[in-house]
Structure 1
Amino acid sequence: MNDPTLANDAASQSAASDMRWIGIDVGGANIKAADTSGWTSAEPFALWKHPERLADQLRQQLPAPTATTRYALTMTGELADCFADRPQGVRQIVDAVAEATQTEASAGVDPLRVYSLDGQWLRADEAKSNPDDVAAANWHATASYAERYLGANETGLMIDIGSTTTDLITIDSNGVQTRSRTDFDRLLLSELLYLGVGRTPLCGLTSSLPFRGRDIPVMAEFFATTDDCFLVLGRTAAMPEDCDSADGKPRTVEHSVKRIARMIGLDHRSFNLDDAVAASEHIEAILKARVAAGIAKVASDASAWVIAGHGEWLLPKTVARQISLAQELGAERSRVGPAYALACLAEARFA
């Protein structure tokens, strides 16, 4: 005799296994997305300038939804100054994602879940009603994923160096160990360093740059960023078609030299590649020192580091065991770490 209950359970389990979870990380300057099968996407998007275009950007960036597509969302863009406060930012971001992915709960199925700071998954309406529980939660998702690489008795540190910020989060085999919940909390404890390898303005890192044996005060202007330094030093690849730079000109070494020259009131006539290299090495040394100081303050005794992002070369030497997600997962997945972590966590939770 056929048991309809068993048949329904089997159908439900089969449907869950067929789900394609796509993690979405909406930041103030970049949108990252990934599934668990190798698809990734990272695109610049100036949310603070064009919040009304977020849904359109997501529609262009994400695969077309199907009946088996599910979405896991996290964000940091709610703090963008286009929003009056974080609750407004959370509501607009959640609504834009729901619009872009055509996710409307029906027949008991809710295709969109939002990751919270306690590791829970909220429906869209719950997230909008509890904005402080989901605001700036992407670091928590990455750290929760990272703990799988630790041994039973290991203390770990999740390090994620991105284009704008660096996360330093203590973890162990039981999960995320910090008590911090907000960016304010993490700034206070050096768990969040507001520096990265792409968007950090040089005038926010130093008051002077070396130039032919002298230290020259820098102009407090958005003339150049760390991206220019690492293009000059060959740490990152030039992309002539990409004009997401301080002056809107191409991301090439030639243009980066010009941008760095402006920091000390010069131009290409009196500032050459060697000068740019010297200035860039100075900036790199500052970043390395600040990252090392943050690690020493947060978890100097960690026995393992789980490293995400795309600024691994800034890390100090250590006796800790190092697990590079770029090596474990590939550079593209590591670059979109929070989005990939979300997809994996959601797939495991709702399997």
Structure 2
Amino acid sequence: MWQVNKKIKVLGLDIGGAHIKYAVAQNQKALLKRKIIPFEIYRTPKKLAPLLKAICKEVKPSAIALSMTGELADVFVTRREGVKFILNAAVDAFGGNAINVLTVKGSFVSVSVAMKQTELVSAANFMATVLYTASIVDNSVVVDIGSTTTDILPVINWSPAILAHDDLGRLKSGELFYGGYLRTNASSVLQEISIGKTKVGTCPEFFATVGDAHLYSGDITAKDYTCQTPDGGPKTKRGAGIRLARLILSDPQTLSAKEIESIARQIVKAQTEKIADAIKKLIVKRKMQNAKILLTGAGAKVYRVKLARMIKNPFPGKVNGIKVENISPASASATKLLSAYLGAE
């Protein structure tokens, strides 16, 4: 343990399968910095430790609040193997004594405990989000739209009201939707595409992503496209159009720009409806018709207006003076750990 003082700098670190997200908290819960680093762990797992070392060199943290979801990447045979790999990379970068690992119960444990009880820390990042939210608002549903998945987390009477603590259980309870704004395979979102008055079956290949539809429609820019494209091609409107056309075994020489635009709109509409339906089901199931919807995550700006048109609940930009967009596992875990060191909990 470090001596409790206001100079403690906590690094909240969330290691996912496609991105590393971090936040820095210091001086009585002041959030100093947030950053998202594209890193698809399944492609180059050995680069994780050097990347974490670079973050350590930049931030120079006193303590680390670590959460993860990257252990599910298919480069690992089991979750246990993935958890241990990530923990070892973190120890290599930061040293074991500095690391506090978030659990699915919302507490922190040492690396040695996490190594022995990997199921306790696997995919636990959502707990930081829901616990922090429960401390600032009484009734709400946190909807964290990421590149790959969407967390739908209920808070009732200032308390987390989640029903499950593992991914399968959360899928069953409706608190996890496996779809996001970027990496989701477009063919899984829309099985049929309308071209004029004709419906064509979407080819079940990884030809395009939801991100391609957003890029073509102008919802996001190349900077927002923080993963590799399915074909390795450019993150441009033209590149996205090529990939979208392949969904129906065509190309931009055969399809008009208007037809490709229609494909993009249909995919965006279908994904928005899927996310909205998942939120609505939880609202009805948990009787939260009047709860605030706290939309956060990298995909929030893409879907905020669209979802607000489909769901009657209020979508505030701030709660208790705090910007909703700043609510994330990394920032929440950093704030939680800093509070513990400062004796605020």
Match of 1:133 in 2: 120
Greater Cα radius of gyration, structure 1 or 2: 1
Aligned partner letter, 1:168: I
How far off is 1:246 after superposition? 1.1
Match of 1:339 in 2: 330
Is it true that 1:13 corresponds to 2:13 in the alignment? no
1:90 to 56, 80, 83: 83
Aligned partner letter, 1:146: T
1:160 to 122, 144, 157: 144
2:292 to 304, 329, 332: 304
How far off is 1:146 after superposition? 1.6
Distance 1:145 1:211 in 2: 46
Distance 2:119 2:250 in 1: 45
Trace 1:192-341 onto structure 2 (pairs within 5 A): 192-239=176-223, 244-300=228-284, 301-302=287-288, 303-312=291-300, 313=303, 314-317=306-309, 318-324=311-317, 328-329=322-323, 333=326, 337-341=328-332
Aligned partner letter, 2:72: L
Trace 1:50-129 onto structure 2 (pairs within 5 A): 50-64=44-58, 66=60, 69-101=62-94, 103-105=95-97, 111-129=98-116
Is it true that 1:349 corresponds to 2:302 in the alignment? no
SS of 2:4's equivalent in the other structure is: helix
Structure 2 gaps, min length 5? 26-30
Q: Kindly tell me: are residues 319 and 216 of structure 1, through their superposed partners in 2, closer, same or farther at Cα, counting changes over 3 Å?
A: closer
Match of 1:44 in 2: 38
SS of 1:13's equivalent in the other structure is: coil
Contact 1:113 1:121 (8 Å CA) reproduced: yes
Aligned partner letter, 2:313: A
Structure 1 vs Structure 2 CA RMSD: 2.3
TM-score, structure 2 normalization: 0.87
Aligned partner letter, 1:24: L
SS of 1:38's equivalent in the other structure is: strand
SS of 2:200's equivalent in the other structure is: strand
Large movers: runs of 4+ above 6 Å: 240-243
SS of 1:288's equivalent in the other structure is: helix
Distance 2:166 2:225 in 1: 36
Residues paired across the two proteins, number: 326
Contact 2:217 2:264 (8 Å CA) reproduced: yes
Q: Kindly tell me: are residues 23 and 243 of structure 1, through their superposed partners in 2, closer, same or farther at Cα, counting changes over 3 Å?
A: closer
How far off is 1:62 after superposition? 4.5
Aligned partner letter, 1:28: G
TM-score, structure 1 normalization: 0.86
How far off is 1:229 after superposition? 0.6
How far off is 1:283 after superposition? 1.2
- Percent identity between matched residues is 27
Aligned partner letter, 1:47: I
Match of 1:7 in 2: none
- Per-residue deviation, residues 65-124 of structure 1 (Å, max 9, x unmatched): 64x5211100001111111211111111011011122x243xxxxx11000111110011
Contact 1:71 1:113 (8 Å CA) reproduced: yes
Distance 2:268 2:248 in 1: 17
2:13 to 10, 19, 24: 24
Q: Kindly tell me: are residues 137 and 261 of structure 1, through their superposed partners in 2, closer, same or farther at Cα, counting changes over 3 Å?
A: same
Q: Kindly tell me: are residues 70 and 253 of structure 1, through their superposed partners in 2, closer, same or farther at Cα, counting changes over 3 Å?
A: same
Aligned partner letter, 2:307: L
How far off is 1:243 after superposition? 6.9
Q: Kindly tell me: are residues 268 and 62 of structure 1, through their superposed partners in 2, closer, same or farther at Cα, counting changes over 3 Å?
A: farther
- Per-residue deviation, residues 235-291 of structure 1 (Å, max 9, x unmatched): 112349977211112211111011101111111211233222211211122122212
Match of 2:131 in 1: 144
2:160 to 165, 176, 192: 176
SS of 2:245's equivalent in the other structure is: helix
How far off is 1:57 after superposition? 2.2
